[in-house]
Structures are given as structure tokens and as C-alpha cells.
Chain A
């Protein structure tokens, strides 16, 4: 090796080490700073931090965006630097690894072989022409497992090679590239997808999603189709712990139901790349009233909180203000009743005690039939076209680890040379992982050859 070559090589190794040092520095920095967001409450209003931590710490929290640590400029910069480190490291090492990979392990001199980390040399006097011994040594060598490669005339001898797991070299690349792929998937998903919420009463339909942006403004995103909640169900164990949250949903496009599914917490509904997850629910009071007009017209009306119910054909509007399931043994409700112009009144109804309401020339007699709860389901809505890229990266990551961990690059050499009267034998081995277990295998092979030579 000439000095120029040595210099460029050492320079390369130096650069390589310096970037591993950068990687380690980043690991430590990321580990340490990640703690902040697990200790300091995240995503609160700025007012919250000012009140709880005082003006001095508030300044730090605000300028370093510690209220949203993992999306702050400096944390994202660390992740960016980490990505650059991975890319540079990968590109720099690529030619070096490629050369290692392409290197022919038979292309070694006798002295090179004798310099391997594991080796044994025998000199057997007077056996130079024992071709049977030579043959037996060769078949013993096969016990190392794998295909035997052969080259004659290596410094007057024959060189045998068994090489396994050469592609182990690429395992680390697999891992590093897969982390970059995960980042790409996450970034792609952030810019092309959205995340929002829908609250739907049983029977209600919507065609848009609500999203709260970082400034706290609510914006709506059109879905391009409609979604209806047909029914919501909640069940509890005897202990009171929740057992089941279930929403029966329908997707409606151009007035037609195109998809129907009962979703559970771990079983969402997907349509057109948008997925609906069971997230929360709310129980809203609902009452049933019987209303009789003085002209003899009669109707049973279901009145819910947060919406007005019309009695068709009369112009009467009703609403629920409050529902109390048990007032001295009977349910009671405070309802609103009025006309479309906004004239109206609030009435307390107790079951068994009817109330009257006068509108124009008509008197209405209202009685409370019963009350209960109506459910409103809370759905998490997400569109994330990048998620498949993330899963691809994750799969590659696991495969990469499997290669690195379970496929060591191992080489065994056997050189048999004939001197004037002696047979010279060199057994050598090298591995890049798990030296302890390799050494065990190597020593076993060595012992077998030793025994054999003893017998011969």
C-alpha cells in the first residue's frame, strides 16, 4: 500500500468516524431533549404557561416553543440534521462497502490468510504426497457448512474457501435507509393528508370535518361525500368499566348509500382514502311529549337537546332545555315552545302533570310521556396517504435488523501446500459479528482436523 492510498483511506475512515460521532451526539441530544415534552404539559395555551411557570420560564418556553416541543424549530432541526447525517453517512460508506462486497476472498496470499483473526498452522512431516489425506482434509473442511470455493496455485498450494452471509454488509444500509423512508412517509402524510373530528347525533348526516388549527381556529374540510350515524351503542362491564363503543355508520354518495359498517375502537371505516375512527361519545337528553291541540289534532313528538323540533302543519317549534330523570319519583323536563317568528315560552313539565300553551286561538295541552338519552358519537377522521410509505419503512427496518442480527458474514479458509517433503496446512477464519460463537465453531473444526492429522 503506498502512502497516498493510505492517506486517502485513513482520511475516509476519519470522516466515517466523525459522522458516527455526530450520530451519537444527535442520539444523546434527541434522547435528552425528548424528555422535556413528557414532563412539561404540551399543547396548552400560552396563558397557561405564563400562569403556571412565571414570566421568566414563560420567556424560555415561548421562544423555544416548548409548548409543542416535538414540532419546535430546534427539535425539527435536530431531526433534519439526523436525516442529513444518515444520508451523508450512507453515501460516503457506499463505495467502501461495495468494494468490500465485491472483494474476492480467494484473492489472498498465503501470508494474508495466516494473518486472519482465527488461524491454525500445521506442518506434517513426510506427508507431502498423501493425496488421500489432502482429500479427507477437504471433506472435513466442508463441515464448516456452505459451498466450497477453490483456487489452485496459491503460492504453491490449494486454497479452499467457505463464505456465508456476505449480504450482511447491506443490513445496516437497509436499516438506515428505512428510517429515512419513514421520515419521508411522515412528511408526505403531513402535507397531503388531514386530521379532524366529527360529532354526529344518531340519525344525523354530515359532509364535512372540523379541524382546529394551531392558532385555535376552527376550519371545516369537505369530505366529498356524506356520512351518517345510524346508531350508537355503549356497553359497560358490571364493574363500570367500558366494554363497547360502537357506531353504525353509512357512507352516502349522490344520495345513495354506498358503504355501511359498524365501527369499534379498534375497527375503523375507510372510504375514499379517509378513515373514520371511534373516538368519543356524548349522551344527550331526549324527551317524548304528547301534544294535543284544542282542534283535536294530536301528535307524539321527540325533542332533543341542541336542536329544534317542528310539529309539521302547525308552525309550532319545540326544544329541550333541561331534562331531569327523577324529580320526586317522576321525570321532569323544561322545554321551549313557540312559533317560527320567535314568540314562545319555556315550560316545566312533570310526568302526570300536563301544561297548557296558548298560541293565537289554539290551546295546546302538553304532557311528558318519558325521557332518556340520545347518543352523539365522536369520530376521529384521518386522511394519510403517507402511511403506506411509513409501513414500508417499518417493514424494511425489521428485515434490516434480521439480516444484521442473524446473518453474520463468516469466512473459513483452508490452504494446503506441499513442501519438498512436508504437507503444510493453514486453517483460518474471520467473522464480522458474534465472534464468541464463531470462535467455538472454528475451534471445533480445528480440533477435528487436529485429531485427523494425529490419526494420520
Chain B
């Protein structure tokens, strides 16, 4: 049997589903071996996904199109899950806390499942239309999705922060990192995501200027990325206002991610504009 990229990427979906479930078990039972298993499943899934993306790239050359697999909704969802897992693994490695996995891997799993099983998402390799034939495509997509993935992880921290509540009793809640640590992690991932979102908006502007002669045209996708930028700018500045740290920033990290999702999907499906090729 010939192994195809679609097969590897479908397989990845199940690995991430498994990882999310095992991380959840680890959170409940707190057995180190279970935690290690969850990490191993995640790393294996990520390696399979990497191979799948590389194979898809190769397949596009075999079809005579020859472009990086970052050109449509299916490919961007795959890339989103890939970066989300990468960002999460870095966070896990740095914090040595595996409970976070129960809040981060589901985002990657959902993105993969949506890409693989939704009838709205076409998984065929399509050639690039003239507007997309640019070296800026790779820079723009990679930077935007580094931002989106960081915001997904920050949203996970926000949810953890909120369910931690006063964090007094309950063995489940006490397993979560302390509020101080969560607040700091949330802040760090938001700055990281904000940096990449900014670079993503700028690379998009440079590209638009080269393709259409305008670096900013208030197209719905552009405007929504700016709205997202304002939400996270609020979260970053809120720290300097007395009484705004912690809980309010946790809410903002969730609202921000909703705005990311709308920028990503809502604009494609509900509004029309220059980015319409991202919708199929």
C-alpha cells in the first residue's frame, strides 16, 4: 500500500485524540507513567504530522504544482495543529507540568478532526492562483499561525486560571499550576503570540502592497486581525492597571482566542473579501 499524506494526517488526528485523553487521565490520576505516555503519544503524533506535511509538499511537486502546503483551509488547519503542539511541547518542557496538556492538545485535535472530517474542507492539493504565487505566502502563513497557536495555548491557560478559582480544596484543581505561574505563563504566551500576530499582519501588508498596491485595505480578514490585535493589546496593558491582573486577563485570553477563531473561520464563511480563497 502506498502511504499518502492524507493517511498520515488522518492518523495524526487519532494520536492527538489519544494524547488529549491520556493527558486527562494523567490530570485525574496523576501517575507519572501515564503522563509520560501522554507526552510520548503527543511527540509521536507530531512526528507523523511532520512527515505528513513533508509528504504533502512532495506530492504537490509530483502533481506539477510544487508549493508549500500552506495554501488553503485544510493545509492551514493542519499547520495550526502542528504549531499548537510544538508551542505546547516547548511549554511542557519548560514548566515540567503535564496537566497543561489536557488543555492544549484538544485544540490541536479539534483542528485536525475538523480538517479531516468536515465536508466544508477540501483536502485535495490545489494549484496556486496568481494572487498566492509569492514568497510572502510562506512567511505570512507561518507568522500568523505561530500567533494563532500561541493564542490557543494562552486560551488554555486562561481556562485553567478560571477553573482554578480560589484553588483551595479539590485534588484536581490543586494539580494545576499555581495562579501566579498560570498568570505569568498566560502573559508570556500572549506576548509571544502578539509578537507573531504583529509580524503576520506586517508580512501580510508587505505582500498586499506587492500584489495589489495597498498595504491596508480594510478587507474583513485584515480588520478582524486588527480587532484581535486590539483585544490582546488590551490584555497586555491591563497588567498595568490596578486590579486587572489575573482573572480579567484570563477572560481576555479567551475572548482573544474567540476573535482569532472568527478571523480564521468566521470571516471565510460569513463575510466576503480578498481572503476568500482561504475558504475551500
Determine the chain B residues whose CB is within 8 A of the CB of A266 once the complex forms: 130-131, 133-134, 136, 207, 210-211
Q: Does A397 contact B (CB under 8 A)?
A: yes
Verify B127–A195 contact, CB threshold 8 A.
Answer: no
> A245-B130, A437-B94 given as contacts; is B241 within 8 A of A20 (CB)?
yes
Contact with A along B215-239 (1 / 0, CB 8 A): 1101010011011001101100110
Q: Residue on B with the closest CB to A406?
A: B195
Collect the chain B residues with CB atoms within 8 Å of residue A64's CB: none
Cβ < 8 Å to B, chain A residues 378-428: 380-382, 384, 387, 390-391, 394, 397-398, 401-402, 404-405
Select one of A24, A31, A70 contacting B241, CB under 8 A.
Answer: A24
Contact assessment for A265 and B130 in the assembled complex, using a CB-CB cutoff below 8 Å? yes
Collect the chain B residues with CB atoms within 8 Å of residue A404's CB: 191
Partner of B231, one of A31, A239, A245, A397: A31
Q: What chain B residues lie within 8 Å of A138 (beta carbons)?
A: none
**CA of A442 to CA of B207, assembled, Å:** 44
Complex-state Cα separation, A28 to B215, whole angstroms? 24
Question: Which residues of chain B come closer than 8 Å to A397, judged between CB atoms?
Answer: 198, 202
Query: Could you say which residues of chain A place their CB within 8 Å of the CB of B136?
Result: 266
Known contacts A24-B234, A38-B220, A434-B188; A237 and B127 CB within 8 A of each other = yes
Residue of B nearest to A71 (CB): B218
Q: State which of B133, B181, B227 has its C-beta within 8 Å of the C-beta of A35.
A: B227
User: How many residues does chain A have at the interface if contact means C-beta atoms less than 8 Å apart?
Assistant: 52
Contact of B234 among A28, A239, A275, A390 (CB under 8 A): A28
Q: Is B93 an interface residue (CB 8 A)?
A: no
Interface of chain B, helix or strand or loop or mixed? Answer: helix
**Which one of B131, B199, B207, B231 contacts A398 once the chains associate, using CB atoms below 8 Å?**
B199
Q: Which of chain B's residues has its CB closest to A234's CB?
A: B130
Which residue of chain A has its CB nearest to the CB of B233? A27
A382 B214 Cβ-Cβ under 8 A: yes
CB pair B184 A436 closer than 8 Å: yes
**A315 neighbours in B (Cβ, 8 Å):** none
A4 within 8 A of B: no
Q: How large is the interface on B (under 10, 10 to 19, 20 to 34, 35 or more residues)?
A: 35 or more
When distances are taken between beta carbons in the complex, the residues of chain B under 8 Å from A402 are 195
Contact yes or no, B184 A434, CB < 8 A: yes
| Contact of A34 with B by CB under 8 A | yes
Centre residue among A24, A398, A401, A435 by max chain B CB count within 10 A? A24
Contacts of A277 in B (CB 8 A): 211-213
| B118 CB within 8 Å of chain A | no
Give chain A interface residues in 1-43, CB to chain B under 8 Å.
17, 20-21, 23-24, 27-28, 30-31, 34-35, 37-39, 42
Are A265 and B214 in touch, CB under 8 angstroms? no
Known interface pairs A70-B218, A239-B126, A404-B191; A268-B227 also in contact (CB < 8 Å): no
B147 to chain A, nearest CB (A): 12
Q: Considering the chains assembled together, what is the distance between the CA atoms of A212 and B202 in angstroms?
A: 28
> Does any Cβ of A come within 8 Å of B31's Cβ?
no
Pair B126/A265 contact, Cβ less than 8 Å: no
Complex Cα–Cα for A391 and B218 (A): 18
A residues in contact with B218, CB < 8 Å: 37, 42, 70
A207 within 8 A of B: no
Q: Which of A38, A387, A434 is the most central at the interface, judged by chain B CB atoms within 10 Å of its CB?
A: A38
Nearest residue, chain A, Cβ from B191: A405
Query: Is A23 a contact of B94 with CB atoms below 8 Å?
Result: no
Closest residue on chain A to residue B181 by CB atoms: A436
Q: CB of A279 within 8 A of chain B? A: yes
Give the docked Cα–Cα distance between A390 and B181 (Å). 38
Contacts of B265 in A (CB 8 A): none
A97 to chain B, nearest CB (A): 14
Q: Which of B191, B194, B212, B220 contacts A380 (CB 8 A)?
A: B212
Complex CA distance for A266 and B213, rounded to whole angstroms: 10
Contact yes or no, A391 B206, CB < 8 A? yes
Q: Does B34 have its Cβ within 8 Å of any Cβ on chain A?
A: no
Known: A387-B209, A397-B198. 14 other contacts (CB 8 A): A21-B241, A24-B241, A42-B218, A239-B126, A265-B130, A265-B131, A265-B211, A266-B211, A277-B212, A277-B213, A279-B212, A398-B199, A401-B198, A405-B192
Could you pull out 11 A-B pairs where Cβ atoms are within 8 angstroms? A239-B127, A241-B127, A243-B130, A266-B133, A266-B134, A266-B210, A267-B210, A279-B212, A380-B212, A382-B214, A405-B195
Pick the 3 closest A-B CB pairs, nearest first. A31-B230, A265-B130, A382-B213
Q: Which residues of B contact A (CB under 8 A)?
A: 94-95, 126-127, 129-131, 133-134, 136, 181, 184-185, 188, 191-192, 194-195, 198-199, 202, 205-207, 209-216, 218, 220, 223-224, 226-227, 230-231, 233-234, 237-238, 240-242, 259, 267, 271
